[in-house]
Amino acid sequence: MNAPTSAIESVLVENRVFPPSEAIQKAARVSGMAGYEALCAEAEKDYEGYWARLARENVVWSKPFTQVLDESNAPFYRWFADGELNASANCLDKHMGTATEHKTAIIFEADDGQVTKVSYRELLERVAQFANGLKAQGVKKGDRVLIYMPMTIEGVVAMQACARIGATHSVVFGGFSAKAVQERIVDVGASAVITANFQMRGGKELPLKAIVDDALQMGGCEGVKHVFVYERTASAYSKVAGRDMSFAELLAGQSTECLPVAVEAEHPLFILYTSGSTGKPKGVQHSTGGYMLWAKQTVEWTFDMQPSDVFWCTADIGWITGHTYVAYGPLAAGATQIVFEGVPTFPHAGRFWEMIERHGCTVFYTAPTAIRSLIKASETDEKVHPKNWNLSSLRILGSVGEPINPEAWMWYYRNVGAERCPIVDTFWQTENGGHMITPLPGATPLVPGSCTLPLPGIMAAIVDETGNDMPNGAGGMLVVKRPWPSMIRNIWGDPERFKKSYFPEELGGKTYLAGDGAVRSEDRGYFRITGRIDDVLNVSGHRMGTMEIESALVSKTDLVAEAAVVGRPDDLTGEAICAFVVLKRPLPSDPEEAKALANELRNWVAKEIGPIAKPKDIRFGENLPKTRSGKIMRRLLRSIAKGEAITQDTSTLENPAILEQLGKTH
Ligand code: 6R9
């Protein structure tokens, strides 16, 4: 076999295996493959019985459920439907009177390095007080509250406080634009917004409240009656009388006791927007009962969480990973966790390693993009290499958000984990609620670049277009054949799109389609994710729809006639966004002019969606390559974006000169 020439090829020939050490295996919650297989067998034998057991063990129910799975209106599955609970009580109240009450819940490290700690008792009091503040302003069960906050204790408190009173939160990542905030406010029908005056990132003070103000002025946001503002910095911000209120005003005089509101298991705990194949982001609606069950259980299984652990998930609360593995799961499991406000490269690219040492972090969970950028930084500057810090507290490492290439995996394993810490490469999606396919640290032999095996009870499979199972070694579409408790319940306000996107008729209408391609290894049956099979890109672990970026580009009507967006592989960000643009004016002949136009378009996209959606490459042409029926030849564009030789049939092109034009990046 030829030597591997790319990350993809080296995955194909990957044959290194790292079994769990005796010590880890012995002490783990799920011990050895025998432990894993016993759980799988239990789920296989009595599916509902298995989930009912986990639901009773992991969740405190204020009213116990008697029904487990209701498939009568599939694919609108219902779990534990007659049970009642409160998510915040499951994260906080249940620890009162136990050894966890005075344990540190959150170690917060601010951008500037300042550290604040809160115990479970203190966190409960803050959440209760905040919940009372919301109630006093008329926010109630069933209302939707949009949260646009920095990574702070206050961000977690805001989410928990909504959950406490049964209000459904919709968190928007602080990097999204005013337009994106407005669209989400309108779609979700928010009656209140919780934000901060500014956020601190990399030593810079960036506005949040001003962006909310812009969003609210764009129209359709009349339903928003309140904006609650966390004064993160001392800087002034503009306040609209009668609508805006600082946290200090909201909390003044409020009691630190607040009874949690019991909600039905299916009550929507949150709605989180994510990109799909069409232009409009999807409001992924999650339940309370099934979601909480899996948030806690996966923290305990995948990270083998023990009472002495110090967990750190670096994801922002604006993403699903920050929901399940910052705001809910670790608290439900009674863990101590680190919450970090800043960025991994400020004030230097050794910040993560420094913080692991400072706080004695034992379980560290981050994204391949971060690892790759820190590898690069440590190659040019020895001083930020992890070897400069004492990382001996670490016992488990995790990866999430995109495929981790074996090279990055090996670097992480050697330089961060000292060849001692298992790496759990966790595959899952916003729609899944929690981990789906992942190694268990005390059970699964690891193979770099593979997310290995589905968690017990997750009936993942690989099928062809008509739903036939593919043999190991043959690639296909990743599906889940049975509903599971933490799965998406609906696309907010769009049940038809929910059915079409996730439960296509071609697969019988009841099988969950993940939207990713995958292949199982011939020897172990391990899963390896090969990437999205739809028009969704994964840039630095962030999901971006190509159509979303295309609509943003063509909405610049004075400049853009037509646009097509594709992804191309990128060493650092996994995928990079490449936009092909037809201008409403002659092709720029001067390279400087082309560059200026490209930058204008990048800034436009940043304004429309957010900086994460800025195309890396912009290419101008007099036309786009199309088939006779007028369809854009996306495969051809993908080849051009990669800089590959064109092997496709281009005889139908009306104007072959455009291939050369589109070959130039600006
Ligand atoms: C949790 C999260 C989901 C998409 C998913 C897939 C990719 C996530 C992965 C992975 C390979 C992993 N993805 N984890 N691919 N290996 N361990 O990231 O959710 O933002 O919805 O993205 O990310 O393509 O479909 P989300």
CA distance 179 to 218: 8
- C-alpha separations of 652 from 203, 565, 628 in Å: 53, 21, 7
CA-nearest residue, atom 10 of ligand 1: 402
CA distance 418 to 416: 6
User: What are 332's two structure tokens?
Assistant: 């439900």
Q: Report pLDDT digits (tens) over 302-341.
A: 999 999 999 999 999 999 999 999 999 999 999 999 999 9
Mutate to test the pocket of ligand 1, among 314, 326, 402, 573 (most ligand atoms within 8 A of CB): 402
Q: Report pLDDT digits (tens) over 172-222.
A: 999 999 999 999 999 999 999 999 999 999 999 999 999 999 999 999 999
**Peptide bond between residue 422 and the one before it cis (omega within 30 degrees of 0):** no
Asked if residue 481 lies in contact with residue 508, where contact means CB atoms within 8 angstroms, the answer is no
> What is the ipTM score, two decimals?
0.99
Classify 169 as helix, strand or coil. strand
Report the C-alpha dihedral over residues 146, 326, 530, 353, rounded to 10 degrees.
130
Nearest to 50 by CA among 458, 329, 462: 458
- C-alpha separations of 663 from 439, 544, 641, 659 in Å: 42, 23, 8, 6
Cα angle 603-608-611, degrees, rounded to a multiple of 5: 55
CA-nearest residue, atom 18 of ligand 1: 401
Ligand 1 atom closest to Cα of 426?
A: 17
User: What are 664's two structure tokens?
Assistant: 């130039």
Whole-number pLDDT of residue 658: 86
pTM value is 0.94
Whole-number pLDDT of residue 646: 81
Rg, Å, the chain Cα set: 25
The response to whether residue 173 sits with its C-beta less than 6 Å from ligand 1 reads no
User: Which portions of the chain are predicted below pLDDT 50?
Assistant: 1-10
Q: Report pLDDT digits (tens) over 68-126.
A: 999 999 999 999 999 999 999 999 999 999 999 999 999 999 999 999 999 999 999 99
User: What are 312's two structure tokens?
Assistant: 């750190």
Mutate to test the pocket of ligand 1, among 271, 404, 429 (most ligand atoms within 8 A of CB): 429
The response to whether residue 403 sits with its C-beta less than 6 Å from ligand 1 reads yes
Nearest to 333 by CA among 313, 360, 356: 313
Q: Residue 652: what residue type?
A: T
Mutate to test the pocket of ligand 1, among 282, 286, 302, 400 (most ligand atoms within 8 A of CB): 400
Mutate to test the pocket of ligand 1, among 446, 519, 529, 540 (most ligand atoms within 8 A of CB): 529
User: What are 343's two structure tokens?
Assistant: 């960025």
CA-nearest residue, atom 17 of ligand 1: 427
Report the C-alpha dihedral over residues 82, 84, 87, 91, rounded to 10 degrees.
-120
User: What are 652's two structure tokens?
Assistant: 């139908």
User: What are 588's two structure tokens?
Assistant: 């720029």
CA-nearest residue, atom 1 of ligand 1: 429
Q: Where are the beta strands (DSSP E) in 321-473?
A: 336-340, 363-366, 396-400, 423-426, 460-463
Whole-number pLDDT of residue 4: 36
Nearest to 273 by CA among 262, 258, 285, 264: 285
Whole-number pLDDT of residue 632: 85
Nearest to 527 by CA among 487, 475, 574, 485: 475
CA-nearest residue, atom 22 of ligand 1: 429
How many angstroms is it from 532 CA to the middle of ligand 1? 9
